[in-house]
Every structure is written in structure tokens, then in C-alpha cells.
Amino acid sequence: MIKMTKVTKAYGNLKAIKDVDLTINNGEFVFIVGPSGAGKSTFIKLLLKEIEPSSGKININGLELTEMKRRDIPYYRRNIGVVFQDFRLLPDKTVFDNVAFAMEIVEASGREIRRQVPAVLAMVGLASKARAYPHELAGGEQQRVSLARALVNNPSLLIADEPTGNLDPVTAREIMKIINLVNYRGTTVIMATHAREIVNAMKKRVITFRKGSVVADRAKGEYFGEV
């Protein structure tokens, strides 16, 4: 469970996040929507402990994020899968190695890697492209690799920052299917997005940010307001 209590993040005089209180339960699927500069990125960075809140508390599954020691951050992040709009694959590694890389970092054995990587590639529908390099893949395929990398260590939380931002609507829908499947299997999903059609089609909880505050939080909500 993610619980934010009176969280504010200020950069100088500018408050990127203002007095945010919210709770996200394990297994939930949550869209974070709002215009650019509303605080979505700051919200995600706070969850990843990339930045510290100026005030307030963030508690994740009983762990107080503001009290976590620096050296514990890597181990905390191993429970979180992250997907970005720009995929962030390593160009000189094959699809297989891009995914295996995430397991090497957490010191998995060669046997675990050889078992787990093909399984997760099959789940995202890329079993046949394991030996390809990122530049040989279409955008949607690259995002699947990125998803596979985020999921290969079985995170309990998946954070997706505009995962469909660079994709056409058909490809975007396929990515959403995979993310939905991941959520169905029990992983909490938090997805920041501008994609109105996707949000409206999925019928999930929608949290709307504007100027750093939560202005709407609805179960089975819809995207509303100007983009």
C-alpha cells in the first residue's frame, strides 16, 4: 500500500506538489493524469525516491521512504519496475541482453537468467526477437522490451511514465493489454499519461493533478479537463 500524507515538493518558490494526501492499495491500477507541469513527474520521482519531499510522509508497504538510508535505495527500487516514454534501451545490447542486464544487476544466477528472460519475452510477445538489436525493432516492440526489462525481476509495483507517448494508437493498445495483464496478475500499476482515449477505455481509477494538487480522484473515472 502506498500512502502519501501531506506531501509537498518545492523547488525554490515553485511548489511542484502541494499537500498531496492519497492512498493506493496493492493490486490497484491507477492513472495519473493532468496537464504538463501539473506534478505527475514529480509524483513519480518521489515514489522512486529520486527526490525527497520538502515536507510530508510517503509510506510504501510499511516502509517510511523519507527515513530510508541512501544505501538501501537500490534494494527498495528492485521491487519497482519502471517504463519510460523513450524506452531507454541500451543500443549495443540485444533484446535478450537488455532484459538479462536487469537480472545481472540484482545478481541473479546465469541459470535464473536463462530461465526467466525467455519467459518474460514470451509474455510481452517478443520470443522470436531475442537476438535482435533495438534499432531493428519498431517503437511498439522496443516498448515491449522495456516492459520485459521492468517486469523480469517480478516487481510488486510497475510505474509507467507516458509509456504510449511515442506510439500510434494501435500499438499503444497492445502495450496497454500487456500492462493490464501484469496488473491482473497482481502487480500494482501506476501510469502517468496524456492519452485520453486509453484512460477512458480502461475504466480504472483516475487521479487528476493540476498545479501540484489532486483535483479529482475517481474509481472507474474518465479523463476530463483540458490537456
* Residue with Cβ nearer other proteins (90 or 138): 90
Task: Report the residue number, 90 or 181, with the smaller CB distance to other proteins.
Answer: 90
First to last CA, the chain: 29
CA distance 220 to 139: 29
> Does 74 contact other proteins by CB under 8 A?
yes
Which residue has cell 513519480?
44
135 burial level (CB within 10 Å; 0-12, 13-18, 19+)? exposed
Query: Is residue 154 a contact point for other proteins (CB under 8 A)?
Result: no
Residues 93-122 that bind other proteins (CB under 8 A): 101-102, 104-107, 109-110
User: Residue 107: helix, strand or coil by DSSP?
Assistant: coil
Residue 49 beta carbon to other proteins: minimum distance, rounded to whole angstroms: 10
Residue 179 contacts residue 191 (beta carbons within 8 Å): yes
Binding to other proteins by residue 133, rule CB under 8 A?
no
Under rule CB under 8 A, residue 77 binds other proteins:
yes
One character per residue 163-202, x = contact with other proteins (rule: CB under 8 A): ----------------------------------------
Q: How far is the CB of 158 from other proteins (least distance, A)?
A: 12
Amino acid at 138: A
Residues 6+ apart with CB under 8 A from 116: 103, 108, 152
Q: Under the rule (CB under 8 A), what is the footprint of other proteins?
A: 48, 50, 71, 74-78, 80, 82, 88, 90, 101-102, 104-107, 109-110, 149, 153
